[in-house]
Amino acid sequence: PASPASDRSPAPGGGSALTLTLSVAGGTSSGVSLTCDLEGGSHPDPFTACGLIRRVGGDLSKLAYDIDMICPEEYLPHTVRALGTWEGRPVWFGRTYDNRCEMTALTGPLFHI
């Protein structure tokens, strides 16, 4: 069985389990779990999310989903965080984007939670 994302010790054999959170300035905050050894958790699209993370080898700072996406100059900060393990290695990622469009341009649907 996969260990929960809140368990910071790597799973035997190197598990991949993350907790993803999204906070919108002045508004909502949400969080989901994502497991990628067997795609699952409470993420609405674990197969796509795990695929995005696999493409960057678990290094979420390398995500660049659609860098040519044209976004409005709206300022409504979206702060994302990912905490857990990828193939047994610790993962901690946090970043604030100017708006949802900019967040999507870089992280795709990963944080559409």
Going by the DSSP 8-state scheme, the letter that residue 9 receives in this structure is: S
113 within a domain of the structure (yes/no): no
Q: Would strands 40-41 and 29-35 be described as parallel, antiparallel, or unpaired?
A: antiparallel
* 83: CATH: 3.30.350.10
- Is there a domain that residue 6 lies in? no
pLDDT in tens, 92-110: 999 999 999 999 999 999 9
pLDDT band at 13 (very low <50, low <70, confident <90, very high): low
Q: How many domains does the chain divide into?
A: 1
- Asked whether the beta carbons of 84 and 37 are under 8 A apart, the reply is no
Q: What is the pTM of this model?
A: 0.84
Q: What is the per-residue DSSP string for 17-28?
A: EEEEEEEETTS-
- Domain assignment present for 45: yes
- What are the Cα distances from residue 91, in Å, to 13, 15, 18, 82? 16, 12, 8, 7
